Amino acid sequence: MSDCLGLLNSQSDLEKETTKNVWCSLNVARAAENLVYFISADICGKVDSFLSASGNSMIVSPTGNVLQNAGEEEGTIFEEIDLNIVRDFKKSYPVVEIE
């Protein structure tokens, strides 16, 4: 599984929203293209006078469904995952051989 840290330079609300949309889309893409649960963590809020981060730490299923999203506030998210779903899915779509 992966941990990702994304730092955002937020010059405007439009840029922050665009960056958030890209972050969320890439998390979904990584889960779906690798047929894995993808867990990412991002900091949120103002980091310093020039840097703020959008948050949106999330857990995404192998089918690209966002199971949990922490949003833009600090918090903790949990999700029960079933690795049999990953095994079954990879047998149906054999992009990688698993044992």
Supply the pLDDT for residue 93.
76
pLDDT at residue number 15: 63
Say which residues have a Cβ less than 8 Å from residue 59's Cβ, sequence separation at least 6. Answer: 37, 38, 39, 66, 67, 68, 77, 79, 81
Interatomic CA distance for residues 99 and 94, integer angstroms:
12
Q: What does the pLDDT read at residue 1? A: 40
- Please give the Cα distance from 78 to 90 (Å, whole number): 24
Q: What stretches in the chain show pLDDT beneath 50?
A: 1-12, 14
CB 67 within 8 A of CB 23: no
- Residue 61 near residue 23 (C-beta atoms within 8 A): no
Q: How far apart are CA 18 and CA 30, in angstroms?
A: 18
For residue 10, the model assigns a pLDDT of: 37
Q: What is the pLDDT of residue 67?
A: 96
Domain ranges of the chain: 13-92
pLDDT in tens, 51-78: 777 788 899 999 999 999 998 888 899 9
Q: In what order do the strands lie in the sheet with 38-40?
A: 38-40, 58-60, 66-69
